[in-house]
Structure 1
């Protein structure tokens, strides 16, 4: 936006980098260009400032399809003033010489011109299309037409306006019609959602069934293994009992055989001892048979003396000596002499 400073009887104009100023003094061009700075008198000068940067113009308009349905077209047109001098002569971009305010009538005129041209061309295209075709192919066809028609429009060229780009954002029917058209798609989407929900539930049930089957199979496998373990433990216990019984039987047999051997050994020993004692007794008897009576008495006394208590004092009487001496004499004489009588 340009800046105008007031001084006595004169003014100073300072332009902007995006505005092309045209200074007319008494109907003749005194200054023109971008970023101008000059002095002027407001009583003899006319100023116009045309923007040279790109301008964005949103456009909304209605059109009717071949099946008599109203549609709304939303578009955006980008333009610039290619010939600012011509634009300043055809449109109102006057600058107030007192405060530098630029008129907006020029922009409003451009908005009206571009909007009417875009609506005219788009209406011709949509008039040959049904509502369904407009909903599906309306945007690219309208964009292609406006991109080709607007830059070549004679009125815009004569005004010094160059269309840089055209964007068609939407071609939409009325709300009720759009809602009705959306109903089948919504029903289809809802049906797909329900089907996905049912499939998800069925899949969840199938997975739960598979999990239950796996758990049951695991329990059956555990029970089978437990049964095998119990059977194996029983077999091991039986085998251990059999082995222990066999070992006990072997031990009992060994003990019996050892006892038999010991008994036989003891019997053999007793028999041998008995035979030895019998032989010794027999030999002893034979010796006793050959020995005399005195010898036998002496032996008897000797044996009796072993069982008698200790004798501290022994008294020998003549009678005892007489009897003993008589016996000894009789033995020496062959047993013919009579034994002496005791007194």
Structure 2
């Protein structure tokens, strides 16, 4: 932005690096260029400052499609003043006394470029339907407006150079836009619902698979338990059979042992009986040849072994005389006495 300092009868101008200043004094150019600094007389001087940097011009306008639908076009035009002298001679960029430029020149440029963009865009959109405009309107309008503005004779003669055109959006009315969005939204919602249903179906399928696996595991465990019970029963039966066979063998062995013991005992008794009988026979054979007195003495000895203990024994003369008489009496007379066993003398009390 340029700076003007006022003094009595004179003023000083200090330009900016992006402003092209033109100093006219009485219709003659005294100073021009970028970054100028000079003194001038306000009463006889006219100053104009044209910006030489890139300018951005946003524009918004409406158009009607072939199917009678209203669409809004939002665009942005980038331009610059390539010939500041021509621009200053045809547009109002005069400086005010304080150094600020008027807005008339910029407004004129905005009007010219906006009308050109709108006229070309309306012609293009009027030949297309709403669907076509929304589908490829941005790219087609960008190409059309760039070529049309760059080739416009008025802009070239004025010294305005179009650097580029950007079409930002081509949008229908709000209710039409919502109506157009509805099928897509419904389709997206349907896709979302389908995804939810598929996820639920997958979850149900996985749950069913898990349940089947659990059931199969339970069946497998039950089968294994059945096999285990059967094996345990078979083992118990086999153990009982083996125990019964062992008990039977033990019983047979015990019976055989008892039979052998009984046979051995019977043989022993038989041998003892035979030995006893032989001994008795031998004893009787010996007794047969003994006299009566000797047999009587032996009988008393055997009887004495089985008699109770006798602490006192009284022998009277009668008993002694009888015994002595019996000892010296012949055996024949003694045997003939009735009531006395054989070999025992008769005694009197």
Q: TM-score range by the shorter chain?
A: 0.7 to 0.9
**For 1:230-249, what aligned pairs fall within 5 Å after superposition?**
230-249=229-248
Normalized against structure 2, the TM-score is what? 0.80
Which residue in the other structure is 1:52 paired with?
52
RMSD: 3.4
Contact 2:9–2:41 (Cα < 8 Å) also in 1: yes
**For 1:250-265, what aligned pairs fall within 5 Å after superposition?**
250-265=249-264
Post-superposition shift, 1:104?
Answer: 1.8
Q: Structure 1 residues 33, 304: CA separation in 2 closer, same or farther (over 3 Å shift)?
A: farther
Contact 1:322–1:340 (Cα < 8 Å) also in 2: no
Normalized against structure 1, the TM-score is what? 0.81
Does residue 267 of structure 1 match 2:263? no
Contact 2:4–2:11 (Cα < 8 Å) also in 1: yes
Post-superposition shift, 1:5?
Answer: 4.0
Which consecutive residues of structure 2, in runs of 5 or more, have no partner in the other structure? 335-344
Alpha-carbon separation, structure 1, partners of 2:258 and 2:8 = 158
Provide Cα deviations, 1:31-59, integer angstroms capped at 9, x if missing partner. Answer: 44444444444334433333333222221
SS at match of 1:71: strand
Post-superposition shift, 1:26?
Answer: 4.4
Equivalenced residues, count: 339
Post-superposition shift, 1:105?
Answer: 1.7
Contact 2:292–2:331 (Cα < 8 Å) also in 1: no
Which residue in the other structure is 1:116 paired with?
115
Alpha-carbon separation, structure 2, partners of 1:8 and 1:2 = 20
Which residue in the other structure is 2:337 paired with?
none
Which consecutive residues of structure 1, in runs of 5 or more, have no partner in the other structure? none
Q: Structure 1 residues 201, 301: CA separation in 2 closer, same or farther (over 3 Å shift)?
A: same
Post-superposition shift, 1:113?
Answer: 1.4
Alpha-carbon separation, structure 2, partners of 1:340 and 1:23 = 206
Alpha-carbon separation, structure 2, partners of 1:193 and 1:336 = 151
**For 1:96-245, what aligned pairs fall within 5 Å after superposition?**
96-97=96-97, 99-245=98-244
Alpha-carbon separation, structure 1, partners of 2:99 and 2:271 = 163
Alpha-carbon separation, structure 2, partners of 1:256 and 1:340 = 59
Which residue in the other structure is 1:73 paired with?
73
Does residue 88 of structure 1 match 2:115? no
Post-superposition shift, 1:134?
Answer: 1.4
Post-superposition shift, 1:324?
Answer: 6.4
